[in-house]
Amino acid sequence: MISLTIADGIAEVVLDAPQKLNSLDEQALQDLAQAYDDAADAAARGEVRALLLRGEGRAFCAGRDIAGVTPESDDAQAYLGGLVQPLLKKMSSFPAPTFAAAQGACLGVGLGLLLATDVVYVADTAKFGSPFAKLGATLDSGGHWYFTERLGMHRTLDLIYTAELMSGAEAVAQGLFSRAMPAEELLANTRGIVARVATGATGAFNASKELVAHIRDQRLGLWESMEEENVEQARLCKSEDYAEGFLAFQEKRSPVFKG
């Protein structure tokens, strides 16, 4: 159900249960966490410099697999707090740039997987929102924070109360994700971008990734953020990639970064 391939500096993680819209049960979450651990180990060896997450079939991920769940015995805290949240933290701290290509349904835990990814490209027909009103449940996997942060209180509660879904094009227009594109072009375009990033200065990318996370989580102001930038720039100037970037510029050639 979860596959990992590594080639040309790129780890590609695939949710591969299209017959159930890539919905995730407990075992699938554990397998997904293991895939990220294996990819992180490869990154530590210099074999991975970018990661792509995608779903097979007509949906990215429809959320939790509730086919065998009975409300009387369901332990939502164990599933969400014990499995989902640790996985999302692991994903968000992956030691290289991460991308996702999302088509079709992207709901519940599926939405959470996207929120834990650095850059998300979506099909213009993808579907986002909170369908839980029909289940007597509530939005999870960080959705409340993310929607409120990006859309504001009124639009967030509108989506939750009505269970209406927005398209990928609407989600990008409202600032939820990076780019929307035709579904038939999504994977090829995303792979092309990931391939370019995988040849870049990974250390500098990771510095920016951490800075952005600090700005978000610690609510840094302009001058605090600038101070962190200064520290990171001073650290990077001692790296091989920094030296190569400046030398390539001066020699009017393309840089060859080691990551």
Mark whether 172 and 210 lie in a shared domain: no
In a domain, 256, yes or no: no
Range of the domain at 160: 2-197
- Checking if the pLDDT of 74 tops 80, the result is no
Q: How do residues 28-69 score in pLDDT, each as one tens digit?
A: 999 999 999 999 999 999 999 999 999 999 999 999 887 777
Mark whether 38 and 113 lie in a shared domain: yes
92 burial level (CB within 10 Å; 0-12, 13-18, 19+) = middle
Mark whether 89 and 175 lie in a shared domain: yes
At residue 70 the predicted structure's pLDDT band, cuts being 50, 70 and 90, is confident
> Which residues, 6+ apart, have CB-to-CB distance to 232 below 8 Å?
207, 210, 211
Given a contact cutoff of 8 angstroms between Cβ atoms, the answer to whether 8 and 198 are in contact is yes
Report the pLDDT averaged over residues 91-99.
98
What is the CATH classification number for the domain harbouring 113?
3.90.226.10
Token pair, residue 174, equals 């409202």
In a domain, 259, yes or no: no
Q: What is the pTM of this model?
A: 0.95
Mark whether 61 and 15 lie in a shared domain: yes
Mark whether 193 and 172 lie in a shared domain: yes
- Checking if the pLDDT of 168 tops 80, the result is yes
In a domain, 243, yes or no: yes
Question: What φ, ψ does residue 171 adopt, rounded to 5°?
Answer: -65, -40
| pLDDT value of position 148 | 97
- Checking if the pLDDT of 2 tops 80, the result is yes
Mark whether 169 and 236 lie in a shared domain: no
- Checking if the pLDDT of 135 tops 90, the result is no
Q: Which residue has the tokens 């072009």?
A: 185
Number of domains in the chain: 2
In a domain, 160, yes or no: yes
CA-to-CA distance for 110 and 102, rounded, in angstroms?
9
Q: How do residues 191-224 score in pLDDT, each as one tens digit?
A: 999 999 999 999 999 999 999 999 999 999 999 9
Least reliable range by pLDDT among 91-100, 126-135, 155-164, 197-206: 126-135
Token pair, residue 254, equals 């393309």
Mark whether 19 and 142 lie in a shared domain: yes
